[in-house]
Structure 1
Amino acid sequence: MSEIFKFCDPMMILADYKSPESHKHLASHIIISLGGKMEWQIENKNIKCRGICIASNVVHTGRIDENGAIIFLFTEISRYTASIKKKYLNGNSYCIINDNVVDSIVKKYIEHLNDKETLDTILLRQCRIDNSDEGRYEERIEKVLDYISGLKTIEHSIVEDLSNHIYVSKGRLSHLFKEQTGMTLHSYLAFEKLRKTYKYFCEGRSITDACILAGFDSSSHCASTCKRMFGISLRDVYKTIKE
Structure 2
Amino acid sequence: MKIAEHSKLYITKGLSIFIGTIIETSKHNHNAIQITLSAYNDFTVEFDEISISTKSIIINSNCNHKLIGRKGKQIVISIENASNHSRAFHALLGENPYREINIDPKLIQTIESDAKENKNLSIVLEKIISHLNIEFNKVNKIDERIKKILNIIENVEEKKISVKKLAAQVALSESRIQHLFKIQIGMSIKKYLLWKRLVDGIHMITSGKDFTEAAYEAGFADSAHMSRTFKQMFGINLFDLFHNSRSVQAIVCKS
Asked if TM exceeds 0.5, the reply is: yes
CA spacing shift, 1:109–1:221, aligned 2, 3 Å: same
**2:108 is aligned with 1:106:** yes
CA spacing shift, 1:163–1:90, aligned 2, 3 Å: closer
Residue identity opposite 1:36 in structure 2: N
Give the gaps of 5 or more residues in structure 1: none
Post-superposition shift, 1:236? Answer: 4.9
TM-score between both structures, scaled by the size of structure 2: 0.79
Given that 2:28 and 2:233 are in contact with CA atoms closer than 8 Å, whether structure 1 keeps it comes out as no
Deviations 1:119-157 (A, max 9, x none): x334323312588789833333222111111123223x4
- SS state at 1:124 partner: helix
What corresponds to 1:30 in structure 2? 35
Once the two structures are overlaid, the 10-residue window that deviates more, 134-143 or 56-65, is: 134-143
CA spacing shift, 1:63–1:237, aligned 2, 3 Å: closer
**2:146 is aligned with 1:141:** yes
Residue identity opposite 1:103 in structure 2: P
**Equivalences for residues 198-213 of structure 1 within 5 A:** 198-213=202-217
User: CA RMSD, aligned part only?
Assistant: 2.8
TM-score between both structures, scaled by the size of structure 1: 0.82
What corresponds to 2:9 in structure 1? 4
2:115 & 2:240 partners in 1: Cα distance?
A: 20
User: Which structure 1 residue ranges, 4+ long, deviate > 6 Å from structure 2?
Assistant: 130-135
What corresponds to 1:124 in structure 2? 125
What corresponds to 2:82 in structure 1? 77
**2:91 is aligned with 1:86:** yes
1:133 & 1:14 partners in 2: Cα distance?
A: 31
Q: How many residues align?
A: 238
1:132 & 1:187 partners in 2: Cα distance?
A: 29
1:6 & 1:132 partners in 2: Cα distance?
A: 26
Give the gaps of 5 or more residues in structure 2: none
**2:243 is aligned with 1:242:** no
CA spacing shift, 1:138–1:3, aligned 2, 3 Å: same
